[in-house]
Amino acid sequence: MTVTSLVPVFALAVTTIPDAPAAPVVVPPDPSALDATALVGNACSKCHGASGVSISPLFPNLAGQPAIYIETELKLFRQRGRSDPRARAFMWGIARGLTDEQIKGVARQFSRQPPARGAPSSKPALADKGKLLYENGAKERDVEACIVCHGADGEGVDANPRVAGQHRDYFMTAMSQFRSRQRENKVMQDVSQKLTDDEIAALVEYVSTK
C-alpha cells in the first residue's frame, strides 16, 4: 500500500469523532429581582449571618443596628463612597445593583433582629479605662464622649451605629482605618487621630462587653 492511499482513511477516521458536549453556562441571579428576605439569605448571610450576627469577627454584627445607619452605609457602598479595603472587596459589588427599596428592606430586616450581646472582658482594668473614656471623652484634647453619638449603652443614636457587642477584631480594624483615613468619616477620623493606641484598645475592650 502506498503512503498516499493512507491519507483518506486517516481523514475519515478523524471526522467520525463526536463533538464534546458544551459546558453549561451558570448565570447568577439578578440581585434586582430579589426581595429583602432573599437578599439576606443569598448574599448578606454569607458574612453577616442570617440573623445579623456575623459568622466571622472580621465582619460587623448588623442585628439591632439602626435602620437608617444600615441604609446610609449601603447607599455609600452603592455609589462607592466608602473605599476601605473590605468595602472595595465585598460591598461595592454586592450593593451596586440594589434599588432604594431593596436597601430599605434589608436595613429594616436587620434592624429588627435581637442585637448581639457582649462578652465579659478578660481585661477588666482595660475595660474600665475604656468606660471612662466612652462616657466622658478627653476634654483636654477636644475628644468628645462616645456616648453623645453612640448612646449610653452603645445602642446608636440617629444615623450613628450601634457599637455595643461588636466584635473586637472588627471594631479595632475600623478604628485603625478611620485613623489612617482609609475609611471616610470626618468625625471618626478626627477622634481616632487624637486617641492613643492604648485608649483605642480600651474603648474596643469596653464596647465589646456591652
Residues 134-188 pLDDT 10s:
999 999 999 999 999 999 999 999 999 999 999 999 999 999 999 999 999 999 9
CATH topology of domain 124-207: Cytochrome Bc1 Complex; Chain D, domain 2 (1.10.760)
For residue 20, give the C-alpha cell. Answer: 464534546
Prediction pTM value: 0.82
Query: Using one digit for the tens of pLDDT, what is the confidence trace for 39-49?
Result: 999 999 999 99
Cα torsion 78, 177, 200, 172: sign: positive
Q: What is the 3-state secondary structure (H, E, C) of the chain?
A: CCCCCHHHHHHHHHHCCCCCCCCCCCCCCCHHHCCHHHHHHHHHHHHHCCCCCCCCCCCCCCCCCCHHHHHHHHHHHHCCCCCCHHHHHHHHHHHCCCCHHHHHHHHHHHHCCCCCCCCCCCCHHHHHHHHHHHHHCEHHHCECCCHHHHCCCCCCCCCCCCCCCCCHHHHHHHHHHHHCCCCCCHHHHHHHHHCCHHHHHHHHHHHCCC
What's the rounded Cα separation, in Å, for the pair 80 and 73? 10
| CA triple 26-30-35, angle to 5 deg | 135
Q: May I ask the CATH architecture of the domain 33-111?
A: Orthogonal Bundle (1.10)
Residue ranges covered by each domain of the chain: 33-111, 124-207
- Among 5-9, 25-29, 196-200, 202-206, where is mean pLDDT lowest? 5-9
**Are domains 33-111 and 124-207 of this chain identical in fold?**
yes
